[in-house]
Amino acid sequence: MKASNEKEFKALIKKYESLTEDMLLDESREDDSMYNLLSRTTGFGSQRTCTLCKAISKINGDLCSDCVYGTMSSKRLMIICDDGANEETYSAIQNSDNLTDLLIAIKARAKHMKEVWKLYLKQR
């Protein structure tokens, strides 16, 4: 099955790879959580703000099953961006307490997403 957000998935990997601590610091606000900072900068963490979800909702698709992450699922279990093999890097971002930890988590997420992309291309 072809996902509806292939272009956005590849773009998000590049965005995560290009982020620096200085870039995040420039975007941060007083009393900002790391989760809120990344959500504001990249759309992370909410179907309303996520670039992957927004790309699908433009064409009225079923968000999770039309996503690159969702197409990697078996028929019995929907594996989404924050579940299964994707949960570790998602949670690392959510649980980051400082910019250094957040950047490490973002880079790990980008690396993981590259692996997901490779698997996705094989199954497509």
Is residue 35 within 8 Å of 29, Cβ to Cβ? no
How many structural domains is the chain composed of?
Answer: 1
pTM assigned to the model: 0.88
Predicted confidence band of residue 13 (pLDDT cuts 50, 70, 90): very high
Is residue 49, in this structure, part of any structural domain at all? yes
Instruction: Render pLDDT for 87-108 as a digit per residue (tens, 0 to 9).
Output: 999 999 999 999 999 999 999 9
Q: Exposed (0-12), middle (13-18) or buried (19+): which is 35, by Cβ within 10 Å? A: middle
Rounded Cα–Cα distance for residues 101 and 117 (Å)? 24
Is residue 32, in this structure, part of any structural domain at all? yes
Domain with 119 in it? 6-123
Is residue 55, in this structure, part of any structural domain at all? yes
